[in-house]
Chains A and B, each alone.
Chain A
Amino acid sequence: MSAKGFTNPIVKWIDYRLPVFSYLHHELHEYPTPKNLNYWWNFGSLAGIFLVIQIVSGIVLAMHYTPHTLMAFDSTEHIMRDVNYGWLIRYIHSNGASMFFLVVYIHLFRGLYFGSFKAPRELLWMIGVVIVILMMATAFMGYVLPWGQMSFWGATVITNLFSAIPVIGDPIVTWLWGGFTVDNPTLNRFFSLHYLLPFVILGIVVVHVLALHQHGSNNPIGIDIKGPQDSIPFHPYYTIKDIFGLMVFMLFFAYWVFFNPNYLGHPDNYIPANPLVTPAHIVPEWYLLPFYAILRAVPSKLGGVVLMFAALIVLFLLPWLDTSKVRSARFRPIYRQFFWLIVIDCIVLGWIGANPPEGIYIVIGRIATTYYFVHFLIIMPLVGKLERPLPLPTSISESVMKKKPGLAAAE
């Protein structure tokens, strides 16, 4: 697409010098997209939208918030009670974080089910894992800012993870804190980084989209586009589908913001931070619970920390751990069952992470942690080798068109 397609003289003038309109037209309008994408493919653009929601609401909150141990809690309450619509913006931001993770986790499991991480999309997948890790760091630091009890003790526990590193662990923790405990210097730097990291994420999202557009979206049957009959232009077909999905998801989001804004948080965080009293149960936000469960599954400090980070690192290796040539689990009867097992396993880990580490919870946590690693390191490579996949359709177009007459007959 060259500047010739545009009729507006100003657009033509600009595009000749800076082909931004050609670029946008190419990537968002005519961009050929598989014609069979289902609603699971909505969650990528949804994630992008939530990143923007978080950045916009966060910038506004930063206008009213004070990152100081003596004022942070009060300024948060000031936002909630005094600032015009402050309550709304803060609830959007805190619940938006949960929605962002929910959307990204669905996006991630979508990729896992339909094999979107396989060649030639390995880098695309790995960049995505980097984004998830950065999101976790950002969310953790954001949770510290209101300076409630959970903020303080969450920060203490998580920064102390680094003290498990032999020899240099303690100096690293002191360096992270800027003191001998979590205190004002810690709060200050977390605020600074919490403001910075979303923009880093935004930059990496751009790289993620660039990598995506190199080979285009994967699709539910996981075979490549073989000709023009297999694809449709992104606009208007997928823009409208994405917008429809967005509106439905916004209803869900609005439920949390307006009717249940504190359900996903923890009441202890409405108690100002007290360095002398640890709350009876320290739990992170729901989206970090599975990793917290893995941390606590091991009766060794270093072992737990190593395993928790390994749970994320292993995701980088998936493109090579999955040995199957077939992408979509639709044609992989065995893998499909194991996929649902790992989904259940992650939910179980989340449930264990929310419970105190005692009695039966320890046993279940250890089994679920073991299964998590067994799934990725043993089951995935083996199933790819042993399983006999179902026959693949010859083209995307064929698989779509075959359904049509059936549907017509049913009507």
Chain B
Amino acid sequence: MADAKATSGHRSGGHAGGETRRDFLVVAANAFVGVGAAAAIWPFIHQMNPSADVLALSSTEVDISSVQAGQSITVLWRGKPVFVRHRTQAEIDAAAKDDAVSLPDPEKDAKRVKKPEWLITEGVCTHLGCVPLANKGEYNGWFCPCHGSHYDVSGRIRKGPAPKNLTIPPYAFVSDTVIRIG
């Protein structure tokens, strides 16, 4: 392509009508300036992304042995709250029953837990990031005081402006009583 242009430019002697070697040089030079400018700007944009030390803090281990059925604890993971809820059998049944109703962000309760009695979600409202209050709201799960979103006992959005269910963070059961989040 480059050769073709250069040759045709040579043949036409750099005169009107066709592309010339000079056109090619101008386009190539401008393209290089563009790429160079983008490469120079990138560090100044990327510096605002999470730094290495922030990324390094991205897993937390939690001992859940003392959390009784019906209780919910809040732990800090990557600077944000994570809810660890020990659900009662009644709550598990209620969540499973609601799989059938129409949900804004449909998801089966079974998909949202690894062990049905332990529900682990980020404590961050998917609307604008407030911390919802536990055991409140019309569905007895969580209620966000900021803009009035109601979540059920599976952390699913049921009513209000939030678009999505409470996010499930990556986690694993290290043992029966310890989970690692992140």
Contact with B48, one of A175, A180, A277 (Cβ below 8 angstroms): A175
- Chain A residues lying within 8 Å of B130, measured Cβ to Cβ, are 153, 156-157, 278, 282
Asked if A276 and B81 make an inter-chain contact with CB atoms under 8 angstroms apart, the answer reads yes
Q: Does B78 contact A (CB under 8 A)?
A: yes
- A15–B52 alpha-carbon span in the complex (Å): 56
Known: A185-B54, A275-B80, A276-B81. A178 touches B48 (CB 8 A): yes
Q: Does B65 contact A (CB under 8 A)?
A: no
Known: A181-B78, A304-B161. A278 touches B131 (CB 8 A): yes
CB-based nearest B residue for A303 = B161
Q: Closest CB-CB distance, A271 to chain B, in whole Å?
A: 15
- A277–B144 alpha-carbon span in the complex (Å): 11
CB-based nearest A residue for B148 = A357
Q: Which of B51, B76, B130, B148 has the most CB of A within 10 A?
A: B130
Asked if A176 and B48 make an inter-chain contact with CB atoms under 8 angstroms apart, the answer reads yes
- A92–B148 alpha-carbon span in the complex (Å): 35
- A279–B146 alpha-carbon span in the complex (Å): 8
Main secondary structure on B side of the interface with A: loop
Q: Does A174 contact B (CB under 8 A)?
A: yes
Q: Does A280 contact B (CB under 8 A)?
A: yes
Q: Does A281 contact B (CB under 8 A)?
A: yes
- A358–B58 alpha-carbon span in the complex (Å): 37
Number of contact residues on B: which range applies?
Answer: 20 to 34
Asked if A357 and B147 make an inter-chain contact with CB atoms under 8 angstroms apart, the answer reads yes
- Chain A residues lying within 8 Å of B128, measured Cβ to Cβ, are 156-157, 160-161, 163, 301
Q: Does A393 contact B (CB under 8 A)?
A: no
With an 8 Å Cβ cutoff, the count of chain A residues facing the other chain is: 36
Contact with B146, one of A282, A299, A300 (Cβ below 8 angstroms): A282
Known: A157-B146, A160-B129. A181 touches B79 (CB 8 A): yes
Q: Does A330 contact B (CB under 8 A)?
A: no
CB-based nearest A residue for B80 = A181
Known: A156-B130, A160-B129. A275 touches B54 (CB 8 A): no
**Chain B, range 6-49, C-beta contacts under 8 Å to A:** 45, 48-49
**Chain A, range 106-162, C-beta contacts under 8 Å to B:** 153, 156-157, 159-161
Q: Closest CB-CB distance, B169 to chain A, in whole Å?
A: 10
Q: Does A327 contact B (CB under 8 A)?
A: no
